[in-house]
Structure formats: structure tokens, C-alpha cells
Amino acid sequence: MLFGDSASPIAGDETINIHFTIVYDVFALLGFLSLSFVLCTALLSSRIHRSTTWFLYIFSWVVYSLGLLLIIGHQGSTKPEFGICLAQAMVIYANPVFVAASTTAYLLQISLHLWGKAPLRHSQILLLVVPSVIFLLVLLEVLIVALLYPSMIEREASGMFCHTAHPLPGRLSACIVIFLFTVSIPIVFTICRVLYRNKNFVRDRLNNENSVYSVSLVLRVVLFHCILLIVLGISLAELLPGRRVNLPALNALLGLLPAMAGLIFGSQRDILRVLMRCPDARGHDEYGKSQSTP
């Protein structure tokens, strides 16, 4: 489990663990590839307009999905080397915090845009710097704990990824993530309220050709955030006393998240147009190059 102390998987059929491990790896790999494509496409295309916090948001999911795959091939009987296991243990606790922080920053910027309050330059910088600093601090915290207690770096009970058996990193990361998602809930509520009550005004503001937002993008972010809240709720419910934890299934669910992110954000119209290299109405392709007519 990504947060809290390690729990023992349901006793019984070992094949179930293998099946869930395959599901976990496949979804994490799909998420990494699709999100990397989305990120690179948006960076390279002059026809795709996104805010800097969106790039940080997608990048955090790329890092998250990559972190899940670090010991692929060593999730069975073959033990991974200590160095790679330590690296995964560090990111396995830091990545959820990075995702939660970048998500909150992006939602805050969307909310400010909807209210017509463009953040000042230093505020925009803070929205980028704060999630990154928190990510680095959690990495450092896990590294210090790992160096103090190197024998506790191990594969967790399902064997899908490495973690530390020391309770501090998991509990600290869980507290930070819960705090950030708690902060984000009223922001999401505000976004939905503005979208519902000011439909025409918001549509004009978001669909401006120079805008880095769109109604579709905002709704996708809100939808995916709600999915994250549901998964977080499931994870916390599994930690309740007396619960019999199905650890492989829960880990597979967490591996599914980046694949869902890749599907949700990779299926936007402007991203798909780049994939198909469709010209716009002015005869330019999605990279801004002029296309001559035959």
C-alpha cells in the first residue's frame, strides 16, 4: 500500500498476486507512455495552449507512473538491487504528494481564472515551485530514513514495488496528501458552482482562442480529481481496524490511475488533431506549419 504500514495480502492463491501484478505493470506502462505522449505533444505543438501548471500537473503523473515501474522484472522471486529498491521507495512516497500538490496548484489557477483574477507573476511562480519543493523534501525525508534504517528497505507484501517498513514516510505522505485533497475540495466545489451558474460567461472566457483553458479541459480535470478522491477514500477505508486488506487488488487500482489520466487528457480534441495531423481552418497543421493545397 502506498500509504501507512504494510499489510499482509489475503492468504491463498499466489496466482492472484501474479495476475494483479501484471495488471499493475500494464496499466502503469500504458499510463507512462500515454502521458509522456500528451506532455511531449503539448510541448512541441504551437497549436496546443496550456498553462504552466498544467504541464507540471501532467509531468507529476508521468513521474508517478514511471516510479511504479522501477523494479519491473523483479517483482517475483528475483530480488532487486538495493539501489533501485531505494530509489523506488523514495518516489513511492514522494510521487503521491507531488501529484496532490500539483493538482491543487492547477485547480487553484483554474479557479482564479474563472473569477477573472489572474495570479501575479510571483504567485504563478509559487504555484510551480511549491509542489516541486514539497516533492524534493519528501524524497529527502525518505532517503534519510532509509540511510538510518537500510534493513527496512524491501519489497512490500504483494511484491509489486519497494518501500520502507519504517512507518514514518508512509504516515507523513498520507497526512500531506489528505491535507492537500481536503484543501482542493472547496476549490473544486467553487469551480463547479461557477461553471453551473455562469454558463455563457464562463463559456466565452474559457473558449477564447488565446485561453489556455477550455470547458472540456476543466471538466476533465474536475472529473479525474473526483476519481482520485474516490480512490483515496477506498485506500483509507482499507486502513480501518478489522478490515481484511486485499493488497494486490488495491495496488492494481493505484496502478490504474496513470492509465486513466492518459486516457482522459490524451483524448482531448486538440491532442487528437496533432496525432492525426489535421490542418486547421487557416490551412496550418497542428505544429503551425503551412500546408499547400494540391
CATH of the domain at 224: 1.20.1070.10
Element (H, E) at 162: strand 162-164
β partners of residue 290: 284
Whether the Cβ atoms of residue 47 and residue 288 lie closer than 8 Å to each other: yes
Q: How many domains does the chain have?
A: 1
Q: How far is CA 100 from the centre of its chain?
A: 8
The letter for the amino acid at 185 is I
Backbone angles phi and psi of 156, in degrees to 5: -75, 180
Residue 135 scores a pLDDT above 90:
yes
pLDDT digits (tens, 9 = 90+) for 90-115: 999 999 999 999 999 999 988 887 77
Domain contains 101? yes
Domain contains 242? yes
Instruction: Output DSSP code: residue 109.
Output: H
> 85: pLDDT confidence band, cut at 50, 70 and 90?
very high
Looking from the CA of 208 toward its CB, the CA atoms found within 13 Å total: 10
User: What is the residue range of 230's domain?
Assistant: 14-276
Instruction: Output DSSP code: residue 153.
Output: E
Domain contains 127? yes
| pLDDT for residue 116 | 67
| pLDDT for residue 119 | 61
> 207: pLDDT confidence band, cut at 50, 70 and 90?
low
Domain contains 287? no
* 244, burial (CB in 10 Å: exposed 0-12, middle 13-18, buried 19+): exposed
